[in-house]
Structure 1
Amino acid sequence: MIYPSGRAVWAAAAGAVPAFLVALALPSFWYLGLLWSCLLLAFLAVDAAAGRGRASLNASIDAPQQVGVGGEFSVHVAARHSGPRAAEARVGHEARLAPVDGSGGALLPTAGGGSLNLRFQALRRGVASFDRLWVRWRGPFGLVWNQVVLPVESKVAVLPDVSSARGEAITLLQHAALAEGHAQRRAGQGREFDALKDYQPGMGRRMIDWKRSARHGKLLAREFRIEENNNIVLAIDSGRLMCEPVDGVPKVDRAVTAALLSAFIALKGGDMVSLFGFDARPRVSSGAVRGPASFAMIQKRAAEIDYSSEETNFTLALTTLAARLDRRSLVIIFTDFVDPISAELMLRTVGRLTERHLVLFMMMKDTELEGLADLPPRSGEDVARAVVAGGLLRERQVVIGRLRLLGAHVIEADHNRLGPALVERYLQFKQEDLL
């Protein structure tokens, strides 16, 4: 693409005044005023032809693979060409990213090309991409711009800020006495064999290992511990209702933060963790991983859970999830609903899921509805709002009650306590040997 520069516009404007004066003073020689225009067009043609260099142009974008929400990072633009030396570049980016000092600028000359460093800030969680790069340069006279659009593919995973989650996780681990991230060993609890010990009065007879007792000539009892290889599935609904904000932050973002907190705890405790995201259909599915080193992978996959405006299809999502589970698992579902009609299909699927797995629903309290229900009746509109809000809250409790009748566990916590409440219930499940 070739178009005139500001210098060409000013040159044309400067030549228009003398041409007008010549035509005014010498009407019979009016055509002399066109000489400047013809001369300018000739220079423009020469400048455009001399400045061509698309075939020799090659550019690339270097950006970090991941960054936290609200963090700033640098993007390096490198252009290599054999012709023009002075060039400018501009990058195309998604709305998740905001340029700090602009999205383009002049390329600093380097050997065989130029480079440019730009600063961006990550605004929203997700996978942001730089999809194109504009590069332009002037001809030798500076009268025209030669511009090309280069397709590039550079993605940056905008991850949730887990610094506070890590601090909460460490506090909860210390509180639960999970030293060095291992599951607390309790004699006589759990199903995983740990060691043999001398039989003591008060121990159950089922703990006696009769074969080894006969071999050693004394009573030996089996000591068990809580299993460390349980399968934990974090299923996050990213449908329309979950994208509504709560205290300025979308529900799905709060769910992802709580899920990462529980994933950090579970991985430190020796359990296996997998992530599953869905809305109208399954979107994100990670395999089960184990060990604290796998937390970075879970965190990166969590960035792929995008915001959606579609209605959640619980039947398709939970049926797909159940088909992928080949062993008993703790399925933690982060979701929301407003009435029994929208949750009817979910209830049917949950009934089949609870037959084999331990299901836990995590929901945030609807503070807006609670505030409307408790609104002082100063006018008729306030009374109407309070009645409608109270009815919706009662219908919500009906659905929660039906979930519990189906065998599912339900936690309805404040949005600031969602993560700690989940971790406390998870540790309670392990202590009670329910996993």
Structure 2
Amino acid sequence: MHLSGRSVLVLLVGLVPVVLLGGRAPVAFAVLALWLLVWAVLVGVDLAVAGSPRAVRLERVVPDRVRLGERAEAELLITSTGRRRLRGVVRDAWEPSAGAVRTRSPLDLASGERRAVRTVLEPRRRGERHALHVTIRSDGPLGLAGRQATRSAPATVRVLPPFRSRRHLPSRLARLRELEGRTSVMIRGQGTEFDSLREYVRGDDVRSLDWRATARRREPVVRTWRPERDRRVVVVLDTGRTSAARIADEPRLDTAIEAALLLSALAASAGDRIDVLAFDRARRARVHSASGSEVLGRVVDALAPVQPQLVETDWSAVPAQVRALVPQRSLVVLLTALDSVGAAEGLLAVLPQLTRTHTVVVACALDPELVEMAADRSDRAAVYTAAAAERSLGDADRLAAAVRRLGGDVVLGTPEKLPPALADRYIALKAAGRL
């Protein structure tokens, strides 16, 4: 049951006789009592005549997936199964991070009628966004009172990463095609895997001459090469507490996901197989041996619900997790933080176990505000701030040097620059035959 604002106003009208007949209290209170009785009867009649909010059937039509930053429309189908007309308001209660633009809608349903209530969603966070309940408020014909019921109507929309870094993909794919010698200007491919033999033409590297084939054909023949294919690329995302730090108004983990998506799409186009692992003290997501056109969809689906965990990452378990994915030599990319000496101790301790078998790249997102603060010398306070920023940047440089001494490679960059920088490092390693 609920009382409307109109009902309260009608009730307050009964106080007028008390004010006007203040000197004749018995009469005033008699009038007030009579008015309260009339008001109670009107409210009771209104409540009895109001349609039942439970006499409805609810169905949902929601999109399975929506990309962060895009709009989606969720539809709630309400069918009246009662005998009375149902007038009132319906509230479709989505969680705040789903970004429902308008959750309350007027409702007017005749018996047996079906209506669709549409709610526009503008999700503010990646992951699973839920709606659990629908509240229906049914008003009586006088608008004084009504009935209210909350019904269970669960729904879930998976909000995918925005993949803003996909704008860098065409230029990196063009570089891969150039590397393989498949551009329209017929640039000779570079790589480390033998591809085929062909007749020597002026400008070819004489070091590529195949002397046995030259002797057989009695004319110069050169070997052509192509980049390595069907290699394994393992991307490990650190989902421990350092991944929760906000950098450029988004969690560090979201930048890591952007870099992982761009690298996965690029490696799949280059003919390599992708493994993705999100890990802290437990495995949060896993994609095993994906290749071809299925890669991006599988990686996006796996990483969409992953959230930072406020625990220290157990780096000692990472080598075993990598071995379970790929026993052979692979490119292992660790997306983590290198801005704190204490937090990186675990990583540095296990890095030699990985570099003995694999080519290891450690990628870290840097806060662009640190660079700006380090350059600001406008006043005394700014100088102290710049000193602190320089110290943080210096810690990152020292940790990067430590990783290189242990046999790893390092890619540092702001959230905007890290994904393309990691893609460039992958292309360089592929051209050098280091995968």
**Aligning the two structures, in what range does the TM-score lie when normalised by the shorter sequence?**
0.7 to 0.9
Q: How many percent identity over aligned positions?
A: 24
Residue 398 (str. 1) matches residue 403 (str. 2): no
Counterpart residue number, 1:217: none
Q: Residues 296-323 of structure 1: CA distance to partner in whole angstroms, max 9, x if unpaired?
A: 3322333223245444443345543443
Render the CA deviation track for 1:378-424: whole Å, top value 9, x for unaligned: 53x55554544444433333322221222211112343321221111
Report 1:8-157 matches (<5 A): 8-18=7-17, 21=20, 25=24, 27=26, 30-51=29-50, 53-83=52-82, 84-100=85-101, 102-107=102-107, 109=109, 112-157=113-158
Matches within 5 A, 1:264-283: 264-279=265-280, 281-283=282-284
TM-score (normalised: structure 2): 0.81
- The Cα shift of 1:28 comes to 5.8
CA separation of 1:279 and 1:46: change in aligned 2, threshold 3 A: farther
Shift, 1:221, TM fit: 10
SS in structure 2 at match of 1:99: coil
Counterpart amino acid of residue 139 in structure 2 = R
* 2:74 partner letter: V
Structure 2 spans left out of the alignment, 5+ residues: none
Alignment of 1:238-253 (within 5 A): 238-253=239-254
Paired residues, number: 424
In 2, Cα distance between the equivalents of 1:349 and 1:148? 57
Q: What residue ranges of structure 1 are gaps of 5+ in the alignment?
A: 215-219
2:364 corresponding residue in structure 1: 363
Deviation at 1:363, TM superposition (A): 1.6
Give SS of 1:399's match. Answer: helix
The change in CA–CA distance for 1:144 and 1:313 in structure 2 (over 3 A counts) is: farther
Call closer, same or farther: CA 1:175–1:130 in 2, change over 3 Å.
Answer: same
Instruction: Give the C-alpha shift of residue 71 in structure 1.
Output: 1.9
Letter in 2 for 1:257: E
Shift of 1:106: 1.0
**Is residue 261 of structure 1 aligned with residue 262 of structure 2?**
yes
TM-score normalised over the length of structure 1: 0.81
- Three-state SS of the structure 2 residue aligned to 1:416 is coil
Q: 1:172 to 1:138 in 2, by over 3 A?
A: same
Does structure 2 retain, via aligned residues, the 8 Å contact 1:281–1:316? Answer: no
- C-alpha distance after superposition, 1:311-360 (max 9, x if no partner): 44433455434434344332212211333222111112222222322221
Offset, 1:67: 2.2
Judge conservation of contact 2:21–2:27 (CA < 8 Å) in 1. no
Question: Structure 1 residues 141, 323: closer, same or farther in 2, change over 3 A?
Answer: same
The match for 1:7 is 6
The answer to whether the 8 A contact 2:74-2:120 is kept is yes
Aligned AA for 2:405? L
Letter in 1 for 2:297: A
1:176 aligns with 2:176: yes
The range that moved more, 327-336 or 368-377, is 368-377
Q: Distance in 1 between matches of 2:161 and 2:148?
A: 37
